[in-house]
Amino acid sequence: MNLVACSVIENREITPGNFLLTLKVPHRFARPEPGQFVHLRVSPETEPLLRRPYSLEGFFERGNTRAARIYYSVVGRGSKALATQPKGQTLDLIGPLGVGFAPRPRRVPILVAGGRGVAPLLFFARKLRERKRPFVFLFGARGGRELYGVREIRGGRLHLATDDGSVGYHGSVLALLKREWEAGEHTPLSAEIFTCGPHGLLHEVAGLAAARGIRCEASLEGPMACAVGACRGCPVPLRAGANGNGARYPAMCIEGPVMDATIVDWERLP
């Protein structure tokens, strides 16, 4: 992890309100793992005051150039400021940070993405393809326009779902996951789940995984101040029994953002 200055190669609005940011990063920025994040200063000004944590959508090396990509939606002050940063702008970031996805050998990863939560899973799918590992990618969004990045998902089996039925299965990605599992091809010893999206979806995926004894990792999202474990501002509530000897809140920034979904107390996670 380092503090590095980056320059904006591209900051493009892909669909209304959804942006893909490509940053040129120096070699001092270590190669990230899928699921890791960066703590980005979204503007050279002091407003907004705090950095914003973003999972990486991808990391690319071509020749001597290294680029990190972030897929984000304009939802608040930070992302609004970020959306105005032009090509060539210098922004600094701290990273790569946190714990990424940890697939077990010889198990089929089932990736479950909801909306813009697809970002770290696209990075993950590219890595799996590079390693020639088969995977299943289940991706749900409100409508077809929010199905970002589907053309880049190669090397695995892809199923789509939309709330409005415009593309793929008409309904939730959770139904796709149930169908996938009930087809009987997978067992808890042969497959595992990796998920990212709204916490409501992650809660449901975790419930399904826990009920069937499937290993399941979820990438969490939340406000962070330091992002290096110092300020203790991003606690993850754990279920009773998962707390060890006494109550304890792991910090999302250093013990996450990817965590065992079945130990998280989703009711108490904002």
Partner 1 sequence: MTPDLGVRIGSLALRNPVLVASGIIGYGAEYERLVDLSAIGGIVTKTVTRHPRAGNPPPRVVETPAGMLNSIGIENPGLEGFLEIKVPILRTLPCAVVVSVEGEDVQEFCELVEGVSGSGVAHAIEVNISCPNVGPHGLRYSTDADMARQVMTAIRPLTTLPLIAKLTPNVTRIAEIAAACEACGADAVSLVNTFVGMAVDSISRKPILGTVLGGLSGPAIKPLALAKVWEVVQAVDIPVVGMGGITSPRDAIEFILAGSTAVQVGTALFANPALPEECVTELERYLRRADLPSVADLIGALEVPAERGTIRAGRCLPVEPKSRGSAS
List of residues contacting partner 1 (CB under 8 A): 1-3, 41, 46-51, 77-78, 94, 222-226, 228-237, 246-249, 268-270
Choose between 3 and 14: whose C-beta lies nearer to partner 1: 3
- Rounded Cα distance between 216 and 175, Å, is 17
Residue 28 C-beta: closest distance to partner 1, Å:
10
Three-point CA angle 65, 256, 89, nearest 5°: 35
Residue 225 C-beta: closest distance to partner 1, Å:
5
Residue 92 C-beta: closest distance to partner 1, Å:
9
Q: Could you tell me how many helices (H) and strands (E) the chain has, helices first?
A: 5, 14
Residue 128 C-beta: closest distance to partner 1, Å:
30
**If we measure between CA atoms, which residue out of 234, 261, 219 comes closest to residue 52?**
234
Residue 251 C-beta: closest distance to partner 1, Å:
9
Choose between 47 and 130: whose C-beta lies nearer to partner 1: 47
Choose between 32 and 168: whose C-beta lies nearer to partner 1: 32
Rounded to the nearest angstrom, the gap between the alpha carbon of residue 12 and the centroid of all alpha carbons in its chain is 19
Choose between 156 and 229: whose C-beta lies nearer to partner 1: 229
CB within 8 A of 26, min separation 6: which ones?
Answer: 4, 5, 6, 66
Three-point CA angle 254, 255, 258, nearest 5°: 105
Choose between 130 and 267: whose C-beta lies nearer to partner 1: 267
Residue 241 C-beta: closest distance to partner 1, Å:
15
Q: Is 41 exposed, middle or buried (0-12, 13-18, 19+ CB in 10 A)?
A: buried
3-state secondary structure of 21: strand
Choose between 173 and 220: whose C-beta lies nearer to partner 1: 220
Choose between 168 and 250: whose C-beta lies nearer to partner 1: 250
Residue 127 C-beta: closest distance to partner 1, Å:
25
- Rounded Cα distance between 127 and 123, Å, is 6
**If we measure between CA atoms, which residue out of 114, 102, 263 comes closest to residue 195?**
114
CA dist list (Å): 150 to 71, 90, 125, 203: 13, 30, 11, 24
